[in-house]
Amino acid sequence: MPSGSFVAGIDVGTTKICTIIGCPQTDGRLEVIGVGLNPSAGLKRGIIVDREYAIAAIRSSVEDAQQQAKVEVRDAYVGVTGAHISSVNVTGRTNVSPGPAVSEQDVQRAVQSARDGVPLPQDREIIHEVVREFTVDGEEGVTRPVGMSARRLDVELHAVTGTVSIVENVERCVIDAGVAVARRALEPIATGMAVVTEAERDLGVILIDVGGGTSDVAVFLDGSIAHTSAIPVGGNHTTRDIARLLRVSFDEAEKLKCRYGRALPDGIPEDESVQVQLANGDQSEHVPLKLVAEIIEPRLEETFALVRGNIKRAGTYEQASAGVVLSGGGSKLPETAALASRVLDDLPVRVGSPRGIIGMADAVASPVYATGVGLALLAAREGAGASSEPEGPQTLLQRLTRWWEGLLPRA
């Protein structure tokens, strides 16, 4: 049993449920002590379609991680994504109450006034919010206004909204699997915690998490989050394309893609081929590997073109000087980075695996674990120790401030 407090993150993905348990270190890193990776069930594109299957899959992922870590997870940070997500940057303002300096209440009022500006139809709610910066009497770029002398306080807030029922359904499955939800977090924001460097955030960087059902996007500018979204196309679509065109089962197509698939057909010798089991039970003729890549390429092109259009419309595309970081299982396909760069106007593209971790670092050194690790890192940064003594309810401001501090370059 580890002596320190621990945190947990659960990535309820379309293809896998990933539970990460870790002990926060004083230097900001996370010691990973338990990992649970189970095939997902009962989910499509981030949406629960069969509760019983989903609950069983979550339970088994959590149990695997618990067994390894030899701890019991009471609560966890839980990832949320899906095409229902949308994000907006809003500003809020308040007059500072009479007194020597800006108080926490002033900051809360400014944040609340920003929140009031988020368009929220009845079926939607704010699921994740991040303070981008404060402005104190016209001076921009203030990170911690409390205690400063000022008359007026402005705040810029990045707010992510989602459909209430979809988010609640994921949450209820986690709760019914025996784990309380400490906080929900937008998956690409969590993934960014794990794979994007502080320097990249400062320069401006686009994170694309190519998952099974969705490709999640987060754009970081000037050290903070500027845009988030989820495109409803992922690795499952390429698998389905292969299955349909070669008349094989989804599982056979998935095996073929993961073993022999490439994003670019160029350079694959014409005579390289493999036999596959057809859906009707027969063995196929030899399937050229070039053909498999020719099936994959257009779907991936479409995916990155949709991402490009989405970021362009948000007005953040041109500012990403550090280029693109890919993560998620889809980024494991060879040459995906090269294809992404081609579609994204030759921006530099790298594949990111979780960073800032010790302990079972090798076990999670794959882009597949990035969201789970990111959720646990986020919990660690926000001081949510699942086994630590309860420290009383955190105010939203404390959480937002801690998150903001987490985005600042460490000394």
Ligand X SMILES: Nc1ncnc2c1ncn2[C@@H]1O[C@H](COP(=O)(O)OP(=O)(O)OP(=O)(O)O)[C@@H](O)[C@H]1O
Q: Which residues bind ligand X (CB under 6 A)?
A: 13-16, 40, 46, 211-214, 234-236, 239, 254, 257-258, 261, 328-330, 332-333, 368
Based on the shown chain and the rule CB under 5 A, indicate whether residue 234 belongs to the binding site for Mg ion: no
Q: Could you give the CA distance from residue 283 to residue 246 in angstroms, rounded to a whole number?
A: 12
184-223 binders of Mg ion (CB under 5 A):
211
**Which of 165, 321 has the CB closer to ligand X?**
165
Binding of Mg ion by 13 (CB under 5 A)? yes
Closest distance between ligand X and the C-beta of residue 191, in Å?
9
Q: How far is the CB of 376 from ligand X (least distance, A)?
A: 15
Q: Nearest to Mg ion by Cβ — which residue? A: 211
Question: What, of ligand X, Mg ion, none, does residue 38 touch, CB below 5 to 8 Å by kind?
Answer: none
Per partner kind, with CB cut-offs from 5 to 8 A, the member of Mg ion, ligand X, none near residue 257 is ligand X
Nearer to ligand X, 22 or 213 (CB): 213
Q: Which residue, 50 or 104, is less far from ligand X as judged by CB? A: 50
| Region near Mg ion per CB under 5 A, out of 11-19, 245-253, 287-295, 335-343 | 11-19
**Residue with Cβ nearer ligand X (213 or 323):** 213
For ligand X, the closer CB: 9 or 261 = 261
Q: Output 15 or 113, the one with its CB closest to ligand X.
A: 15
# of chain residues touching Mg ion (CB under 5 A): 3
Least Å distance, CB 383 to ligand X, is 26
Work out whether 372 is an interface residue with Mg ion (CB under 5 A). Answer: no
Assess 235 for contact with Mg ion (CB under 5 A). Answer: no
Q: What span, in angstroms and rounded, lies between the C-alpha atoms of 114 and 90? A: 6
Q: Which does residue 163 bind out of Mg ion, ligand X, none, counting CB within 5 to 8 angstroms by kind? A: none
Residues that bind Mg ion (CB under 5 A): 13, 211, 371
